[in-house]
A and B are shown apart, each in its own frame.
Chain A
Amino acid sequence: KAGVTQTPRYLIKTRGQQVTLSCSPISGHRSVSWYQQTPGQGLQFLFEYFSETQRNKGNFPGRFSGRQFSNSRSEMNVSTLELGDSALYLCASSLARSQETQYFGPGTRLLVL
């Protein structure tokens, strides 16, 4: 079974721009979560989608948003990029919500100049 895939793998943007990242979960997985990884803040939860609905959200500004499609693929969008948004963005999928292991994709490395 194919793992979690994320596109693009690398991205360079400038301040003020917006960006959309994509995540395809493992086949059959309905829950998709997004995390941000930075050297200073570590791994932080952004949001989780399940059956096209946002079920949980971390402590990030409204510039960070996401959605999930009927095939469970998910996108996250960051508007009005700031230098501090430079990070590795990780997507994770799981079968359902409770007691299930989250499997991570390789991440999208975003650099904001």
Chain B
Amino acid sequence: AQSVAQPEDQVNVAEGNPLTVKCTYSVSGNPYLFWYVQYPNRGLQFLLKYITGDNLVKGSYGFEAEFNKSQTSFHLKKPSALVSDSALYFCAVRDPGANNLFFGTGTRLTVIP
């Protein structure tokens, strides 16, 4: 069975500091991993994905994520946080046999000015 864990409900970081939002996964077969962000009263916006290839994936708005197969992790990172990055972040894994996504419980990121 596919599952995703986001161990931190809340992450606080000072503006300008690097940020990390953690995600670990469990899948049978090759993992297809995604990060989405949700702003208040909005749907999910796609940030980046890992399908295959380089372990470091670059995405929108300066975000990147590192795929680590041995640790089954896919942490989201950004070198310098902005106040506008404050939002709810979801990690997701695709069911390899279908097209649906399994989401983590989300991590609320707050960037403090």
A and B held together in a complex: yes
Across the interface, do A58 and B43 meet the contact criterion of CB distance under 8 Å?
no
In the complex, A109 Cα to B92 Cα: how many Å? Answer: 22
In the complex, A90 Cα to B43 Cα: how many Å? Answer: 7
Q: Which residues of B contact A31 (CB under 8 A)?
A: 99
Q: Which residues of B contact A107 (CB under 8 A)?
A: 42-43
Across the interface, do B103 and A43 meet the contact criterion of CB distance under 8 Å?
yes
Question: Chain A interface mostly helix, strand, loop or mixed?
Answer: strand
Across the A-B interface, how many residue pairs have beta carbons closer than 8 Å? 62
Q: How many residues of B contact A (CB 8 A)?
A: 23
* Given known contacts A48-B98, A50-B99, A99 and B32 CB-to-CB distance under 8 angstroms: yes
Interface residues of B in 72-94 (CB under 8 A from A): 90, 92
Contact with B along A80-104 (1 / 0, CB 8 A): 0000000000101010011111111
Q: A55 at interface (Cβ–Cβ under 8 A)?
A: yes
Contact with A along B40-68 (1 / 0, CB 8 A): 01111110010100000000000000000
Q: Which residue of A lies closest to B46 (CB)?
A: A101
